[in-house]
Amino acid sequence: PTLLSKQTNTSAKTPASVSADRGYGIVFNAEVKNVPTIDVYEDFQCPVCARFEAINGITLEKAISEKKAKDVFHVLSFLGTESILAANAAACASDEDKFLAFHKAFYANQPAENAGAINATFLKSIGAAVGIDSPKFAACVDNGGYSDWVRNVAEAGAKANVNSTPTVFVNGKEIDRNTEYFNVEAFTKAIAG
């Protein structure tokens, strides 16, 4: 029932590079001016999100590394407890400056939806695979340290009327789901603003 609460918890512990005024998303290139803002809403358990990442992940990473876009990742938890655990672990990885690496490795190894495979052991192994070996990360995964933040992301997503994943906005406008989500060329053009 707590997941359905409509109140944002302003005292929630927030991972590194998260901005409340950006829907509690994990922000890359926050300080870069005059570039498009790309908001990506996804659920770590969503198979279509894994497909989206496989097709567009490199394009997004390139836009981030070349500072051609401000990217905001909103990790939603439509699909239940395992999505919450994964979103929490991604936040823990963000604190280690490894969000993108964790994100990529998770989707490349995404287990079946709600099959019980996404647990602390699995999430820590994804962390280890991308070079996170700190006790702080392990404790953060084990304790669900960011579960209140995960709820805030969900609230903000609902307020933005996001009801499916992935959903991508460029400068506040959703790009075309039918033509621009799963075509590298069209996606690259769409995120150029």
pLDDT in tens, 29-65: 999 999 999 999 999 999 999 999 999 999 999 999 9
Residue 16, both tokens:
């590194």
Name the pTM for this structure. 0.92
Predicted pLDDT of residue 3: 43
Residue 25 · residue 73 · CB < 8 Å: yes
Q: List CB contacts of 106: < 8 A, sequence separation 6 or more.
A: 44, 86, 90, 126
Mean pLDDT of 55-76: 97
CA distance 147 to 134: 20
Of 18-27, 51-60, 81-90, 150-159, the poorest mean pLDDT is in: 18-27
pLDDT over 50 (residue 135): yes
Could you tell me what percentage of the chain is helix, strand and coil, using 3-state DSSP and rounding each to the nearest 5?
Answer: 45, 15, 40
Average pLDDT, the chain: 92
Cβ atoms of 41 and 76 closer than 8 Å: yes
The mean per-residue pLDDT over the stretch 15-40 comes to 89
Q: Where is pLDDT greater, at 5 or 63?
A: 63
pLDDT band at residue 20 using 50, 70 and 90 as cut-offs? confident
From the number of C-beta atoms within 10 Å of its C-beta (0-12, 13-18, 19+), residue 9 rates as: middle
Q: What are phi and psi of 163, to 5 degrees?
A: -125, 10
Element (H, E) at 104: helix 99-108
Dihedral sign of CA atoms 91, 66, 185, 70 in order: positive
3-class state of residue 12 by DSSP:
coil
Amino acid in the structure at residue 64 = I
Phi-psi region of 141 (alpha: psi -120 to 50; beta: other; left: phi over 0): alpha
Q: How confident is the model at residue 15 (pLDDT cuts 50, 70, 90)?
A: confident
Q: Is the pLDDT of residue 28 over 70?
A: yes
Q: What is the pLDDT of residue 19?
A: 72
